[in-house]
A and B are shown apart, each in its own frame.
Chain A
Amino acid sequence: MSMNAAVGAGRWTPLRVVKGLVLLGFAVYCLVPLAWLLLAPTKTDAQLVGGNPLAFGSFDQVLLAWRHLVDYNDGVLFDWIWNSVVYAGGSLLLSVGSSVMAGYALAVSRIPGRRALLVLTLVAMMVPPTALVLPLFLEINAVGLTNTALSVVLPASFYPFGVYLAFIYFSTSLPRELLEAGRLDGLSEFGLFRHLALPLAKPLMGLLAFFSFVANWNNYFLPYVMLSEESMYNLPVGLGAVISGTPALNPANGGSFLPITRPEVALAGLLVVAPIVVVFVVCQRYLVRGILAGSAKG
Chain B
Amino acid sequence: MTADLKTGGPGAPAPRVTRPTPKASKRAHRRWDLTGILFLLPYLLLLLVFGLGPAGYSVFQSFVDERGGTGDVGFGNYAHVFADFRFWPAVGNVALYLGIWLPIMVFGVLVLALMLHDRASRFSGAMRLVFFLPGAVTGSASVLLWYCMLEPSLSPFGAGLRAMGFTSGNDVFANDNLVVVFAVIAFVTGAGQWIVIMYGALQNIPDELLEAAQLDGAGPLRTALLIKLPLVTKYVLYMVILSLANGLQLFVEPQLIYGITRSAGSPWWSLNQFGYALAFQTGDFGSAAVISMLLLVLCAGAGIVLIRRTDFLSTEAAR
Q: Identify the A interface with B (CB < 8 A).
A: 2-3, 5-7, 9-10, 15, 19, 22-23, 26-27, 29-37, 40, 48-49, 53-54, 94, 97-99, 101-102, 104-106, 108-112, 115, 117-128, 130-132, 134-139, 154-155, 157-160, 163, 167-168, 171-172, 183, 189-190, 193, 214, 218-221, 224-225, 236-237, 239-240, 243-245, 249-250, 253, 262, 265-266, 269, 272-273, 276-277, 280-281, 284, 287-288, 291-292, 295-298
Report if A128-B54 is in contact (Cβ < 8 Å); known contacts: A6-B119, A23-B127, A138-B285: no
Is the Cβ of B249 less than 8 Å from the Cβ of A131?
yes
Interface membership of B180, Cβ < 8 A? no
Is the Cβ of A102 less than 8 Å from the Cβ of B40?
yes
* A122–B279 CA distance with the chains assembled, in angstroms: 29
Complex interface: chain A residues within 8 A of B54 (CB): 132, 135-136, 138-139
Question: Which of A138, A193, A272 is the one whose CB lies under 8 Å from B39?
Answer: A193
Q: Which of B50, B146, B219 has the most CB of A within 10 A?
A: B50
Complex interface: chain B residues within 8 A of A33 (CB): 134, 137, 145-146, 149, 156, 188
User: Do most interface residues of chain A lie in helix, strand or loop, or is the interface mixed?
Assistant: helix
Complex interface: chain B residues within 8 A of A190 (CB): 35
Is the Cβ of B158 less than 8 Å from the Cβ of A53?
yes
Complex interface: chain A residues within 8 A of B145 (CB): 33, 36-37, 269
Report if A132-B256 is in contact (Cβ < 8 Å); known contacts: A106-B40, A126-B241: no
Complex interface: chain B residues within 8 A of A237 (CB): 140
Complex interface bits, B14-34 against A, C-beta within 8 A gives 1, otherwise 0: 000000000000001101110
Question: Which A-B residue pairs are the 8 nearest by beta carbons?
Answer: A244-B259, A126-B303, A109-B36, A102-B43, A135-B54, A6-B121, A6-B123, A105-B39
Interface membership of B307, Cβ < 8 A? yes
Interface membership of B225, Cβ < 8 A? no
Chain B, residue nearest A132 (CB): B54
Question: Which of B37, B201, B300 is the one whose CB lies under 8 Å from A111?
Answer: B37
Q: Which of B252-305 contact A (CB under 8 A)?
A: 252, 255-256, 258-262, 272, 275-276, 279-280, 285, 288-289, 291-292, 295-296, 299-300, 302-304
Q: Tell which of B3-11, B91-99, B308-316 binds the partner.
A: B308-316
Is the Cβ of A6 less than 8 Å from the Cβ of B124?
yes
Report if A99-B196 is in contact (Cβ < 8 Å); known contacts: A237-B140, A243-B144: no
Is the Cβ of B245 less than 8 Å from the Cβ of A128?
yes
Distance (whole angstroms) from the CB of B6 to the closest CB of chain A: 24
Is the Cβ of A189 less than 8 Å from the Cβ of B35?
yes
Chain A, residue nearest B53 (CB): A139
Interface membership of B227, Cβ < 8 A? no
Is the Cβ of B147 less than 8 Å from the Cβ of A249?
yes
Known: A127-B300, A135-B292, A243-B256. 12 other contacts (CB 8 A): A3-B123, A22-B112, A27-B130, A33-B188, A105-B35, A123-B300, A126-B306, A134-B285, A189-B32, A243-B259, A266-B144, A284-B129
Complex interface bits, B71-90 against A, C-beta within 8 A gives 1, otherwise 0: 00000000000000000000
Is the Cβ of A295 less than 8 Å from the Cβ of B129?
no
Is the Cβ of B36 less than 8 Å from the Cβ of A127?
no
Question: Which of A36, A250, A295 is the one whose CB lies under 8 Å from B235?
Answer: A295
Complex interface: chain B residues within 8 A of A15 (CB): 219-221
Is the Cβ of A123 less than 8 Å from the Cβ of B307?
yes
Distance (whole angstroms) from the CB of B58 to the closest CB of chain A: 4
* A277–B138 CA distance with the chains assembled, in angstroms: 11
Complex interface: chain B residues within 8 A of A277 (CB): 133, 136
Complex interface: chain B residues within 8 A of A30 (CB): 130-131, 133-134, 188, 192
Is the Cβ of B50 less than 8 Å from the Cβ of A154?
yes
Complex interface: chain A residues within 8 A of B176 (CB): none
Complex interface bits, B120-162 against A, C-beta within 8 A gives 1, otherwise 0: 0111101111111111111111011111110001111110000
Is the Cβ of A99 less than 8 Å from the Cβ of B57?
no
Report if A126-B259 is in contact (Cβ < 8 Å); known contacts: A30-B192, A36-B156, A239-B144: no
* A208–B140 CA distance with the chains assembled, in angstroms: 24
* A273–B139 CA distance with the chains assembled, in angstroms: 10
Is the Cβ of B252 less than 8 Å from the Cβ of A132?
no
Chain B, residue nearest A162 (CB): B43
Is the Cβ of A135 less than 8 Å from the Cβ of B55?
yes
Is the Cβ of B37 less than 8 Å from the Cβ of A115?
no
